[in-house]
Structure 1
Amino acid sequence: MVSALADRPRADDLAALRAELGRARPARGPVLAFDIAELDDRLAGYGLDGAGLHEVAAASPTLNDDAAATLFAAGIAARFASRRGSDIFWTASQFDLYAPGLEQAGIAPDTIVYAQGKKDSIVLAMAEDALRDGSFACVIAEVKAADQTATRRLQLAASDGGRPVLLYRRHRRLGRCPLSGLSSAMTRWRIGCAPSAPLPHPGVGRARWLVELVRQRNGNPFSLELEACDDTGRLALPAAAPNRAVAMGGAAIQAA
């Protein structure tokens, strides 16, 4: 009897074991919800982990899909920046960003810091340093290639710095999705353009995207058709056609 009691773990041993298990779990930062129930309810954490790696790629190598994927990442970064009240760090090997376009997705010119590297390895290293520094609201890195070791380092840096990183994978060759390789990312998104809804009057309507979550930790993949980011970085669920006509008619009357 005495021997059996002696073999039981003591309370302080159990506390130490629980603490060790807690450190072993991946750190989770503040969650950024999309505020779209049809989207958030399908995410394992009901939003994007604010201390994790999230990957974005265009559905095709076309300029339209490339712009859609860029603005999708910009909208997420803009919302993280708005919440934390700090700047965005954006690094790439070649800049082809259009500042007015980014501003339409919620990123003002004075809230973004650009850094250019000669090759992907330098871009990834700068992104890692910016994450560990912890002074930026969000880090965006554009690369053509990043192996699983590189993504694991980014995920660890995001966890240590308590900041999110968006890795935009540019297309390397035609016919192959950049998200086909292995990665340590918490979520992997593929963004493509979709036809806009017809307007009751001449003009250009709000852009639509086909948003695909290719992979997520502890969750299933899915796809949704959504309206593009507004000037606060927010996506929207397309309204039903009758409701859309009423809403647009009311807006037109108010504008008149």
Structure 2
Amino acid sequence: MPEPTPVPLSGDAEHIGRMADRTAVLAGLRARIRRIEGVGGEGARVLPLGVAAIDAALPDGGLPLGCLHALTGEGSGAGTAFAAALLAKLATARAPVLWILRGRDLHAAGLAAYGLTPDRLIAVRAERRGDALWAMEEALRCSALSAVLGEVDRVDLTGSRRLQLAAESTGVTGFLLRTEEGGSGGRRSGGEAASVAVTRWRVAPAPGQSGEEPGVGAPRWRVELERCRGGRPGAWILDWEEDGWRDETPGAAQPPGRLERVA
């Protein structure tokens, strides 16, 4: 005797349909809010970082492009290295990145170790904060660039809004890089809190693993996502290996992360 074909209950079907409609409405509202805020939405571009836990914390699975981000590095080198790794995956020979310096030189070999080679980098010097912000805003309005980084110790709310609007107008991604040589003493500075940057990151050196061979090991950082519109904060321990990040956060289990170049 053939088994009877199950017939779904009408009440269950109606309930499932209502839940699906509700999910679609909520997804549409979230996308609309992100578009209003200048983050994500239809046609948005993102840069997956290749580390599952970080990408899951970012809106739409990656770092939003065509907007402003803020990076704070504790001690010399940590913020610069993290920024170089990000810029390297955005830069191309036809659309290089612009790095605005404040009173010091870049170490070309050090940047190249993170993939940012001289043929895809333009460096300019602006010793005064006002000049650096002006140069950054003008550069963000140049669609021939893929990204612009400015070494700026602080920026007010109006200044950060101007940079965000400039980035949105062309789709060029902006990064504000601030270095705290004395550690986290300036962690809650007013300029940083007032910024309209879509994400705010803090990068600090992290100690190497116990049992490593003597000598200088792989670069290791504590990367903290302090603020993210449309995402959620978090903190991770990352190693850099050749051309990508490996998540070494306690409890993490995944293969080495690799940044993918954005077309």
Q: TM-score, normalised by structure 2?
A: 0.73
Alignment of 1:231-242 (within 5 A): 231-232=242-243, 234-238=244-248
Counterparts in 2 of 1:197 and 1:156: CA distance versus 1, 3 Å: same
Residues 31, 48 of structure 1: 8 Å contact kept: yes
Name the SS for the 2:149 alignment partner: strand
Cα distance in 2 for residues equivalent to 1:220 and 1:23: 17
Alpha-carbon deviation of 1:172? Answer: 8.8
Secondary structure of 2:91 counterpart: helix
Aligned to 1:9: none
Partner of 1:195: 207
Contact 2:154 2:192 (C-alpha < 8 Å) held by counterparts: no
Contact conserved, 2:69 with 2:200, CA < 8 A, in 1? yes
1:205 counterpart (217, 227, 250): 217
* 1:166 Cα deviation after fit: 0.8
Cα distance, 1:121 vs structure 2:
1.2
Deviation for aligned residue 1:200: 5.4
Query: Could you list the runs of 4 or more consecutive aligned residues of structure 1 that deviate by over 4 angstroms after TM superposition?
Result: 21-25
Of 75, 80, 84, the residue aligned with 2:85 is: 75
1:218 aligns with 2:227: no
Deviation at 1:203, TM superposition (A): 3.6
User: Is residue 170 of structure 2 the alignment partner of residue 156 of structure 1?
Assistant: no
In structure 1, what is the Cα distance between the partners aligned to 2:79 and 2:52?
21
Greater alpha carbon shift after TM alignment, 194-203 vs 156-165: 194-203
| 1:133 equivalent in structure 2 | 142
Q: Tell me how far apart the structure 1 counterparts of residues 164 and 34 of structure 2 sit (CA, whole Å).
A: 18
Runs of 5+ unmatched residues, structure 1: 1-20, 60-64, 244-256
Answering whether residue 76 of structure 2 is matched by residue 91 of structure 1, we say no
Deviations 1:4-40 (A, max 9, x none): xxxxxxxxxxxxxxxxx99856265420010111110
Query: Which SS does the other structure have where 1:227 is aligned?
Result: strand
The one-letter amino acid paired with 1:161 is: T
Map residues 51-130 of structure 1 onto 2, 5 A cutoff: 51-59=66-74, 65-82=75-92, 85-130=94-139
Normalised by the length of structure 1, the TM-score is 0.75
Residue 35 of structure 1 pairs with residue 50 of structure 2? yes
> 2:90 aligns to what SS in structure 1?
helix
Give how far 1:67 is off: 0.2
Compute the RMSD of aligned alpha carbons. 3.0
Q: CA deviation at 1:173?
A: 7.6
Residue type of the alignment partner of 1:215: R
Deviation at 1:115, TM superposition (A): 1.2
Identity %: 32
